[in-house]
């Protein structure tokens, strides 16, 4: 009987140990079951992207929307041409996307973050001051020139500023088909419904007049 109890105890220990190794392996992404899944943008998206459209052609795998020049005559002096699943459905379920970003002299891509992706970028033309902030408010920044590359960790606030005398251009890439962008100025002061003035005056240690003035610049 004692031998049987010991064997049972050893079996339970072995089984529990085996579960610790097996269960995590089941939590990884499944292997793809198809070569591609061109997104059907007329359908509602699911958790992992859009449903696959049935009729596929060669044009689904090519995209020409990253060309320029772009019109940067706006208050920030920056324009972004995206190649994500919404503009290039061939990226559906592939976990990648790109942007063409152009900045006028002095133009700023304002502080923003991408909640679903890490960003890597290459300066194509001009000189760009690139910076990002860590969660303990440390700023990492550098002026980059054509041919140099930067990386922004996922979810961290960052910005780009054209410090040159001519238009700057960069190509950025993301490990998400739709990385999303939370642009802090317009998010905080242009939300709909509005964030209460009391919250913003307390958060920014300012007065209601200043907050309302800022909201007027981002309204609509």
Which pLDDT does position 49 carry in this prediction? 86
Position 184 pLDDT exceeds 60: yes
User: pLDDT tens digit string along 73-110?
Assistant: 999 999 999 999 999 999 999 999 999 999 999 999 99
Confidence grade of residue 24 (pLDDT, cut at 50, 70, 90): very low
Average pLDDT, the chain: 89
Scan for tokens 């054209």, then name that residue: 162
- Percentage of the chain beyond pLDDT 90 is 80
Helix, strand, or coil here: 217?
Answer: helix
Q: How confident is the model at residue 33 (pLDDT cuts 50, 70, 90)?
A: confident
Residue 122 maps to which CATH number? Answer: 2.60.120.10
Label residue 81 exposed, middle or buried (CB < 10 Å: 0-12, 13-18, 19+): middle
For residue 19, tell me if it sits in a domain. no
User: Please, which pLDDT band fits residue 219 given cuts at 50, 70 and 90?
Assistant: confident
More confident residue, 8 or 97: 97
Cβ neighbours for 110, distance < 8 A, ≥ 6 positions apart: 76, 78, 159, 183, 184, 185, 186
Crossing angle for the helix pair 197-204 and 208-218, to the nearest 10 degrees: 110
What is the spatial distance between Cα 18 and Cα 11, in angstroms, rounded to a whole number? 10
Residue 82 DSSP SS3:
strand
Average pLDDT over residues 163-189: 97
Whether the Cβ atoms of residue 169 and residue 102 lie closer than 8 Å to each other: yes
**Closest by CA position to 76, among listed 218, 220, 219:** 218
* Same domain for 167 and 102: yes
Distance of CA 120 to the CA centre of its chain: 10
Query: Which structural domain range is residue 208 located in?
Result: 190-218
Judged by average pLDDT, the poorest of 65-69, 133-137, 197-201, 203-207 is 65-69
Output the pTM of the full model.
0.84
Q: Residue 153 contacts by C-beta under 8 Å, 6 or more apart in sequence?
A: 118, 132
pLDDT surpasses 70 at 11? no
* Residue 105 or residue 31, greater confidence: 105
Could you tell me if residue 119 is inside a domain? yes
In a domain, 11, yes or no: no
Grouping H, G, I as helix, E, B as strand and the rest as coil, residue 177 is coil
What mean pLDDT do residues 58-87 have?
97
Tell me the pLDDT band of 7, cut-offs 50, 70 and 90: low
Mean predicted confidence (pLDDT) in 153-160? 98
Same domain, 198 and 125: no
The number of folded domains in the chain is 2
Please answer whether residues 83 and 96 qualify as being in contact, where contact means their C-beta atoms are separated by less than 8 angstroms. Answer: no
The single residue listed with the structure tokens 């793809």 is 32
């Amino acid at each position: 009987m004692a031998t049987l109890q010991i064997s049972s105890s050893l079996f339970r220990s072995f089984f529990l140990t085996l579960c610790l190794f097996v269960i995590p392996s089941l939590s990884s992404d499944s292997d793809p079951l198809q070569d591609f899944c061109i997104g059907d943008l007329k359908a509602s998206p699911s958790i992992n992207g859009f449903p696959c459209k049935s009729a596929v052609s060669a044009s689904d795998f090519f995209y020409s929307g990253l060309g320029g020049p772009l019109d940067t005559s706006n208050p920030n002096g920056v324009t972004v041409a995206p190649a994500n699943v919404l503009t290039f459905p061939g990226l559906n379920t592939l976990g990648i996307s790109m942007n063409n970003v152009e900045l006028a002299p002095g133009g700023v891509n304002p502080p923003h973050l991408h909640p679903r992706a890490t960003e890597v970028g290459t300066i194509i033309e001009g000189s760009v001051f690139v910076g990002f902030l860590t969660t303990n408010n440390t700023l990492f920044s550098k002026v980059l020139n054509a041919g140099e590359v930067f990386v922004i960790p996922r979810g961290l606030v960052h910005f780009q500023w054209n410090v040159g005398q001519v238009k700057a251009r960069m190509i950025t890439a993301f490990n998400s088909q739709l990385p999303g962008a939370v642009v802090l100025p317009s998010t905080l002061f242009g939300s709909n419904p509005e964030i209460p003035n009391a919250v913003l005056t307390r958060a920014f240690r300012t007065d209601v007049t200043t907050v309302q003035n800022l909201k007027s610049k981002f309204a609509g």
